[in-house]
Amino acid sequence: MIRRYDFGSPIHTGAVVRELAVENAAVPFFATEVQEGRVSFTIHMDVDDLVFGLGESLRGINKRGHLYRAWNSDDFSHTENKASIYASHNLLLFSGREKLFGVYFDDPGAMEFDLGYTRGDTAVITSENGDLSVYIIEADSLTAICKEFRGLIGRSYLPPKWAFGYIQSRWGYSSDPEVRNVVKEHRDRHIPLDGVCMDIDYMEDFKDFTWNKKSFPDLRKFNADMRADHIRLIPIIDAGVKQLKGYDTCDVGLKKDYFVKKADGKPFVGAVWPGRSYFPDFLREDVRTWFGGEYSKLMDEGIEGFWNDMNEPALFYSEESIAEAFAVADKLRNENLDIHSAFALKDAFNGTANNMEDYRRFYHEVDGQTIRHDKIHNLYGAYMTRAAAEGFRRYDSSKRFLLFSRASFVGAHRYGGVWQGDNSSWWSHIKLNLQMLPSLNMCGFLYSGADLGGFSCNTTEDLMLRWLQLGVFSPLMRNHSADHTREQEVYRFANWEDMRDILTVRYGLLPYLYSEFMKAALSDGMYFRPLAFDYPTDDVACRVEDQVMLGSDCMIAPVYEQNARGRHVYLPEDMLMVRFRSATDYDLTPMEAGHYWIELALNEMPLFIRRGHVVPLAKPAEYVEGIDFTDLRLLGWLDEGVTTTLYNDDGQTTEPVLESGLTTITVTVEGENVNARGEGLTLNVDDVIVGE
Ligand code: MIG
């Protein structure tokens, strides 16, 4: 059951697709206070209460005990003290002995979530603008609450099947021969690969929808050659449009008045990669239609996927803020800089980036109303994603395209996926990566992943390998790193063969992972869940922060510490451990519920399959199109027969129907004798273990 409560004059965010009548009563569960335009919601938390949600945000799966702020921010340093990153996913789930409900705050402006930070037993959620709708969601389990919520916000984005392949990316790839070489290094060593991302250096002077004709002289042919090798090129698009006469996107945008404006009616100028830039008003439908259509300039060359960046929007400076900084500098130029003035000078320039003052300098048109940017800040990236997705649909409505964004808001989950932004090559970020995945799923963002190996800082070969072992399971499996950091394509490392072998596990499991993803997407379910969702009465499971459930049959528990030769794992029920070294080299250990220390050499990764379930494994391939989805080996620990279903489709149908993609697999057990059949499938049961 979902009930809606309104405060102030809620701005239409597009997050919700089901129109609900507004309740007249007070919001249940919370004490509400309206003060100076702000609205706050206070709730007492019992000692045992758990708090989940907030999608892409820092810290743990259980969000209790800290402060979070909904304010989409370009922040490349994901440390524990940060309250905001790129997304605002304002869903919370409260679960305890006396409580079980979800609450969604549909507010496009700044919000604060004090979840036991100021007082350990109290959560205070504050809307700074006070214009919002609050949805209270009740059902009999956390999983059911999320399903209800997903019904409210609409079906998740469906990527094409090839987007589940391994993708190599790096900021710095800047020419056709360079990218070809990256592909060749993979293919020569039989390292699986399905895509290469092209970062900003493919563009001509960082201009959206252009490419550098010197370094990419024939993009169409280049792309065609790549396609023949089962590789997709995935270019980046930034939110800011370079200010330049004669640059088509800029000229048209100015002529048609498509950019956000200041109070004086002049277009706002902020700087990003190309220097001074304009920012499309993605909240306007006509602007979305135009900008979404611009992607066709690259699609006409054969491109089938994009990533949208810098759409918080990130601002290096504005004309105004840089002028103020120079004024400070001029004033201090001949001074003897002491502790105060020296820092004032530095701060004057550092403070120009992503400055709150700048976010108050420009306006949007929303449904005929003029709204200052800061009131709707958190929608900007989501509407850029929407613009792109709608453009793709107009371009070819019969085909799924790959799209993932950095900034997002609930609602954008219908249009694209997200990557987790500029993480670092730190061990703690493997764990952070794991913790964000189920939270993102709660909010509908199923297609997601982090920069494997880490974006900032220099990676190491053991970190790369351990991170890939988690990446095997994330729908977006992309190795990405920043310019000037250590090169981290897997072939750069002495132990590349171990990395290749781990990648074969991804391709071997892909029929299963794709099936579980599509089942979740088409039924408003979750691909990743915290253990608390599946074992709500198990107090240990409810607080596990470094293991998550995957699909209906599995649990994962990656190693995320350097020099570790294993890890502690808690099994809430009997499970079969599959310890993979590759898709063809693994061992099976049936394990009863309980606590274990599991030995895991650097080249080994575990998958836990619930007793009574089977998981299919295909023969490894070097690209998704090469996987035989019909020739499968079943892994499992059974006491009796079981039936399961496997979803598959052509990988690009835009309106797939769950039922028509399902094949039933029936496993029978008679004594030691196991048999399995499924229409059109060749099934091997040598790895199904029976009984004790
Ligand atoms: O300010 O395009 O998060 O993935 O490599 C940096 C360059 C801009 C930020 C993205 C990152 C990308 C980088 N971009």
Separation CA 648–CA 651 (nearest Å): 8
Residue 539 lies in a domain: yes
Residue 366 has pLDDT above 90, yes or no: no
Residue 588's CB: how many other CB atoms inside 10 A?
Answer: 15
Give residue 181's pLDDT. 98
The reply to whether 95 and 147 lie within a common domain is: yes
Q: Whose CA is nearest to atom 5 of ligand 1?
A: 171
Q: Whose CA is nearest to atom 8 of ligand 1?
A: 310
- Ligand 1 centre to CA of 264 (Å) is 32
Owning domain of residue 110: 2-153
The reply to whether 506 and 517 lie within a common domain is: no
The reply to whether 299 and 420 lie within a common domain is: yes
Strand order in the sheet with 91-95: 2-7, 132-137, 100-106, 91-95, 50-53
- Ligand 1 centre to CA of 586 (Å) is 37
- Domain at 101, CATH number: 2.60.40.1760
Give residue 480's pLDDT. 98
Separation CA 317–CA 273 (nearest Å): 11
Residue 338 lies in a domain: no
- pLDDT for 175-209, tens place per residue? 999 999 999 999 999 999 999 999 999 999 999 99
Cβ pair 426, 437 in contact under 8 A: no
- Ligand 1 centre to CA of 177 (Å) is 22
- Ligand 1 centre to CA of 202 (Å) is 13
Tokens for 219, please give them.
Answer: 């993009």
267-306 as b/e: b if 16+ CB within 10 A: bbbbbbbbebbbbbbbbbeebbebbbbbbbebbebbbbbb
Residue 217 lies in a domain: yes
pLDDT confidence bin for 328, thresholds 50/70/90: very high
- Domain at 555, CATH number: 2.60.40.4040
**Strand-pair category, 662-670 with 642-647:** antiparallel
Q: How many structural domains are present in the chain? A: 3
The reply to whether 190 and 286 lie within a common domain is: yes
Residue 246 lies in a domain: no
Residue 327 has pLDDT above 90, yes or no: yes
Cβ pair 134, 103 in contact under 8 A: yes
Give residue 613's pLDDT. 98
- The pair phi, psi for residue 596, each rounded to 5°, is -140, 150
What is the percentage of the chain residues whose pLDDT exceeds 90? 98
H or E segment at 195?
Answer: strand 195-198
- Ligand 1 centre to CA of 446 (Å) is 22
- Ligand 1 centre to CA of 354 (Å) is 15
Give residue 368's pLDDT. 86
The reply to whether 548 and 665 lie within a common domain is: yes
Say which residues have a Cβ less than 8 Å from residue 424's Cβ, sequence separation at least 6.
77, 78, 454, 455, 456, 457
Mean predicted confidence (pLDDT) in 31-37: 96
The reply to whether 148 and 169 lie within a common domain is: no
Q: Which atom of ligand 1 is nearest to the CA of 200?
A: 2
The reply to whether 541 and 681 lie within a common domain is: yes
Residue 367 has pLDDT above 90, yes or no: no
Beta bridge partners of 646: 663
Of the residues 510, 525, 559, the one at which a domain ends: 510
Give residue 692's pLDDT. 79
The reply to whether 548 and 660 lie within a common domain is: yes
Give residue 576's pLDDT. 98
Of the residues 133, 153, 173, the one at which a domain ends: 153
Residue 344 lies in a domain: no
Of the residues 471, 490, 510, the one at which a domain ends: 510
The reply to whether 48 and 135 lie within a common domain is: yes
Residue 53 lies in a domain: yes
Q: Whose CA is nearest to atom 11 of ligand 1?
A: 422
pTM for the whole thing? 0.97
- pLDDT for 65-123, tens place per residue? 999 999 999 999 999 999 999 999 999 999 999 999 999 999 999 999 999 999 999 99
Q: Is the CB of 236 inside a 6 Å radius of any atom of ligand 1?
A: yes
Mean predicted confidence (pLDDT) in 657-668: 98
Q: Where are the alpha helices (DSSP H) in 449-548?
A: 461-471, 496-522, 531-534, 539-542
Residue 384 has pLDDT above 90, yes or no: yes
Mean predicted confidence (pLDDT) in 39-53: 98
The reply to whether 425 and 476 lie within a common domain is: yes
pLDDT confidence bin for 394, thresholds 50/70/90: very high
The reply to whether 51 and 167 lie within a common domain is: no
Query: What is the SS3 string spanning 132-148?
Result: EEEEEECCCCHHHHHHH
Residue 537 has pLDDT above 90, yes or no: yes
Residue 349 lies in a domain: no
Mean predicted confidence (pLDDT) in 274-291: 97
Residue 319 lies in a domain: no
Pick the range with the lowest mean pLDDT from 240-249, 291-300, 321-330.
321-330
Cβ pair 167, 478 in contact under 8 A: yes
Within 26-163, strands assigned E span 31-35, 38-44, 50-53, 66-70, 87-88, 91-95, 100-106, 111-115, 122-127, 132-137
Q: Which atom of ligand 1 is nearest to the CA of 307?
A: 4
Q: Whose CA is nearest to atom 6 of ligand 1?
A: 310
- Domain at 440, CATH number: 3.20.20.80
Averaged pLDDT of the chain: 97
The reply to whether 455 and 556 lie within a common domain is: no
Give residue 305's pLDDT. 98
Closest Cα to residue 291, out of 332, 358, 352, 240? Answer: 240
